[in-house]
């Protein structure tokens, strides 16, 4: 009887430790936090957009941003390599002051943005041929 209780406590403790390790490894690669310090324009006009950033590692340069522009589209930005990619609405879940993606932050086919005009700025052509400018 006592051995049964001890083994249940041991398995429960090991389970909690395993879940904690998975949480520490998995969460940073899939979570996003809302930001307010990015300005978004479409064809030179300011627009309201939801902006998020993610840090999958401790490397500050290894940051990613996700920008959701209603009616225009979603895009992901890779600051480390200065690359962009279109994001699908189905791959991002909004959760209060942040969000969650099923795919890791760096996964996907990133490509080069339009040539830079200003420092800390990404320029992208949307699928419907609008020029999106995201300045940090």
Tell me the pLDDT tens digit for each residue of 69-85. Answer: 988 888 889 888 889 98
- Work out the number of other CB atoms within 10 angstroms of the CB of residue 14: 10
The pLDDT, as a whole number, for residue 123 is: 92
Query: Which residue ranges of the chain lie beneath pLDDT 70?
Result: 1-3, 24-26, 57-61
Residues 6+ apart with CB under 8 A from 40: 46, 47, 48, 49, 51, 67, 69, 132, 133, 134, 135
- Residue-level pLDDT at 58: 63
Q: How far apart are CA 6 and CA 117, in angstroms?
A: 65
Q: What is the pLDDT of residue 51?
A: 92
């Amino acid at each position: 009887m006592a051995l049964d209780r001890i083994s249940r406590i041991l398995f429960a403790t090991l389970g909690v430790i395993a879940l904690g390790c998975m949480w520490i490894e998995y969460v940073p690669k899939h979570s996003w936090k809302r930001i307010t310090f990015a300005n978004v324009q479409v064809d030179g006009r300011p627009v309201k957009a939801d902006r998020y950033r993610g840090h999958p590692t401790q490397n500050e340069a290894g940051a990613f941003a996700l920008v959701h522009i209603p009616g225009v589209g979603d895009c992901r930005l890779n600051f480390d390599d200065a690359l962009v990619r279109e994001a699908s609405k189905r791959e991002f879940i909004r959760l209060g002051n942040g969000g969650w993606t099923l795919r890791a932050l760096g996964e996907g086919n990133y490509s080069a943005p339009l040539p830079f005009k200003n420092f800390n700025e990404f320029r992208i052509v949307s699928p419907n041929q609008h020029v999106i400018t995201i300045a940090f």
